[in-house]
Amino acid sequence: FIGLSDPTRYLTNLNPSRTFSSTPFSFQDVTEPAEPSSDQVEEKTPFSLIEKHISPQLYKAIVQKPFGYHDMSPVQSALLSDLPTLLHNPSDLNSTTKDLLVKAKTGTGKTLAFLIPAIESRLRDLKGEAERFTTQNPNSSQHDLFRHMRTYENDTTGIVILSPTRELATQIATEAIKLTSHIKDFGVRLFVGGASKSLQLRDWQNGRRDLIVATPGRIYDVINSNRSILNNVGTTKTLIMDEADTLLEMGFKDEIDQIVQHLPPKDLRSTYLFSATISQEISRIAKTTMKSDLKIVDCVPKGESNVHAHIPQFYTVLPSPEHQLRHIFNILAHDQLLNPTGKSIIFLPTTKMTQLFSQILMSMRRHLPWNVTGLTKIYEMHGGRSQSEREHTAQDFRSGKGGGYQVLVTSDVSARGVDYPGVTRVIQIGVPTSRDIYIHRVGRTGRAGKAGRGDLVLLPWEIGYVSTALHNIPLQPLPVRTLNEEVSDLVKKLDESGEGPTIDQTLFQRTPQRGNQRGYNARNSKPQSSSTTRKVQMELPIKPRIDSLDQNLSENIMPSMSEESIKDSFGSLLGYYVGKSSDLRTSKDTILNGLKQWATMSMKLPEEPYLSHAFLARLETGFRSGGGGGGYQSQGGGYGGRSGGGGGGYGNRVSESGGYGHRSSENDGYSRNRTATYDRRDRGSSYGGNTRERSSGSFGRFSGGGGGSSSGSSGENY
């Protein structure tokens, strides 16, 4: 039972680097952040100023291992400056704490900012319960106290954190485990899809349940199917909703309302709500879930909108589709020359496109400045990959395993919330699903005060999206020729210098297992590995291999690509774009013809993909019926509609029966597994790569597995 400091002590000497507006909430739409006073000075706030107000074990994790931080970020400083009002008083059962509505961008350290007071409050609650038991039972033994506290620890949950995506939820759970690494037996549980529900419910019975991190659909499901979890959630002292704007955008309002009904009344708990914007929808949910005297902490100063204005952002409208691959290559080469150990994330709109471009980039990489084996690593991530594959990919990309330059080719499963340190370039190919998705994608770079850059690459018919959906975003035009000249200048300068950059490359070698192990030991034994580090220098001259790319693309790389994969990607793009004609300010015919040109000019198909007459008829009506001809539905289903049927579709020339059928398929639309995909309300599908399965997982020191950051049945598979 950890000795804690006096919770009534105030931080009179804490001077946050930026104290944004901190005023009572009037439940009105806040459109402008507060303007900092002119005499404010950017000063670093050390964590040592809160040392006396949190447990020694918590403080040790922050300033020593595993975090090793000395100074707070501005968001942390703004929140923790008011730390005493956020902490429960263990000696007063009726004490109340302030609720917080925090306007903050991603990548600002907000996770630690809300975990510190939440976990400290849980520790104080446990200490207070031990003191109450001793006071009420003066003749009890230490064994009695131990038994009582074990029951209390297992039957109560201090913190529930709701997150919109499994990736962000996993990241929060990981941070919570690191923060409590010096606190004995503190239990962190993660409930997300992609794991056996029965296994996670069984694991729930083992160990403490101090903190739950969950996506709304998962926790709503287990609350309604497990009495123990329902009872624990009913004891929650702190509710945290992270990325609340995204939670609402993804349609989780109903689940949130139901979850809140099972929590203690808002006057008996603390509620923190974090959002990039404070809209009317956020105001309404704040009014129903938070105390009326809550505080707004605005961490987006006036004049700095939530469009990552500090990140240089460029868009390129390609003269024709045949420039696409070369321009993407030039963006990567440009970043490699400026940041030899950097990281790029390439976002694509569909799973099929992600798979295709991963293959193409794997073949192109030997022409890049880092052409040494293993020094340009290509990672692929999308909803079609298994949970364990996505976990390993995210970890390898995050850690920069082996050194060199890293490229993550991904769908929107990596767009929101997930932190990949050191990302120097974000490349978006094609238009995003929304303005918010664009912003969240760009937010993967330029984090924690580091430099970064964003590039948006558009086909000629996509230009309308910039003026309709991306207005007021500081995008600068970047012609193809301008980037070509910039890359040429950098290459010439480096080649003339006669000395390329040198980095340390770590080589890993796996040692085979001895013997023939079987059963449990074989499943749980880890292969031995060793590593060596060597100095590697960029091979000069660079110009010849960059200049030879175009010839290799036309003669070797593109002819080696599967025509079926290209046609699959064409079909997925058609399903994705056909509902965006108004945002693009163009017609469906223009979109269709533009995608045909992309298939032949960029992907080098010998002829345009064939579309049946029935499919074209569906295209004219916007695919709204979703029946015989299938196709895109803006409010449900996917590229193939909900109901299936026999008519129309993207088929081959052998059959007019419809469907994307290389083998005269009877299926309707594009969906090979006959399921709808692009539907934000469908429980078996996803929206923008963020799935809403009804299965659950757990994560923590006692879970014995489960959880993770990957999608199971993803709606990206169109």
Looking at residue 627, its pLDDT comes to 36
Write down the residue that tokens 């594959």 correspond to: 389
Looking at residue 83, its pLDDT comes to 87
Q: How far is CA 534 from CA 336, 378, 621, 654, in A?
A: 19, 21, 61, 57
Residue 181 CA to residue 700 CA, distance in Å, equals 11
- Is the pLDDT confidence value at 187 over 60? yes
Give the burial class of 60: count Cβ atoms within 10 A of its Cβ; 0-12 exposed, 13-18 middle, 19 or more buried: middle
Residue 531 CA to residue 533 CA, distance in Å, equals 7
The residue that leads in pLDDT, 536 or 516, is 536
152-172 per-position pLDDT tens digit: 999 999 999 999 888 888 889
Nearest 5°: the CA angle 499, 505, 511 is: 150
Give the burial class of 700: count Cβ atoms within 10 A of its Cβ; 0-12 exposed, 13-18 middle, 19 or more buried: buried
- Is the pLDDT confidence value at 490 over 90? yes
Residue 701 CA to residue 273 CA, distance in Å, equals 27
Mean pLDDT of 636-654: 37
The residue that leads in pLDDT, 579 or 696, is 579
- Nearest by Cα to 287 from 158, 85, 101: 101
What phi-psi label fits residue 683: left (phi over 0), alpha (psi between -120 and 50 degrees) or beta? alpha
Mean pLDDT of 16-39: 34
- Is the pLDDT confidence value at 482 over 70? yes
- Is the pLDDT confidence value at 182 over 90? yes
- Is the pLDDT confidence value at 348 over 90? yes
- Is the pLDDT confidence value at 450 over 90? no
201-218 per-position pLDDT tens digit: 777 888 899 999 999 988
- How would DSSP label each residue in 103-143? E--TTSSHHHHHHHHHHHHHHHHHHHHHHHHHHH-TT--HH
Superfamily in which the 22-298 domain is placed by CATH = P-loop containing nucleotide triphosphate hydrolases (3.40.50.300)
What is the CA 306 to chain-centroid distance, rounded?
17
Write down the residue that tokens 């709503």 correspond to: 220
What is the CA 42 to chain-centroid distance, rounded?
29
Residues recorded for the chain: 718
The residues near 601 (Cβ < 8 Å, ≥ 6 apart) are 320, 321, 322
Per-residue confidence band for 652, with pLDDT thresholds at 50, 70 and 90: very low
Looking at residue 211, its pLDDT comes to 96
Mean pLDDT of 666-683: 33
Mean pLDDT of 255-272: 94
- Nearest by Cα to 35 from 276, 301, 299: 301
- Is the pLDDT confidence value at 346 over 70? yes
Looking at residue 612, its pLDDT comes to 85
* Mean pLDDT, all residues of the chain: 78
1-19 per-position pLDDT tens digit: 333 333 223 222 333 322 2
Percentage of the chain surpassing pLDDT 90? 50
Q: How far is CA 114 from CA 48, 71, 77, 629, in A?
A: 17, 16, 11, 50
Whether 17 contacts 77, CB under 8 Å: yes
Q: Across 5-14, 133-142, 691-700, which has the greatest mean pLDDT?
A: 133-142
The residue that leads in pLDDT, 686 or 482, is 482
- Is the pLDDT confidence value at 436 over 90? no
- Is the pLDDT confidence value at 257 over 80? yes
pTM over 0.85? The answer is: no
* Residue spans in the chain of domains classed CATH 3.40.50.300: 22-298, 313-500
Q: Which CATH number fits domain 313-500: 3.40.50.10860, 3.40.430.10, 3.40.50.2300, 3.40.50.300?
A: 3.40.50.300
Write down the residue that tokens 């704007």 correspond to: 245
Q: How far is CA 696 from CA 161, 370, 693, in A?
A: 15, 42, 8
Whether 159 contacts 118, CB under 8 Å: yes
Mean pLDDT of 89-101: 72
Half-sphere exposure for 119 (CA within 13 Å, toward CB): 30
- Is the pLDDT confidence value at 599 over 90? yes
Three-state secondary-structure class, residue 411: coil
Q: Annotate 472-493 with b (16+ C-beta within 10 A) or e (fewer).
A: ebebeebebeebeebbeebbee
Provide the total of helices (H) and of strands (E) in the chain, helices listed first. 25, 19
The residue that leads in pLDDT, 571 or 88, is 571
Whether 188 contacts 695, CB under 8 Å: no
The residues near 304 (Cβ < 8 Å, ≥ 6 apart) are 33, 310
Whether 239 contacts 272, CB under 8 Å: yes
Token duo for residue 376? 């340009």
- Is the pLDDT confidence value at 93 over 70? no
Whether 691 contacts 715, CB under 8 Å: yes
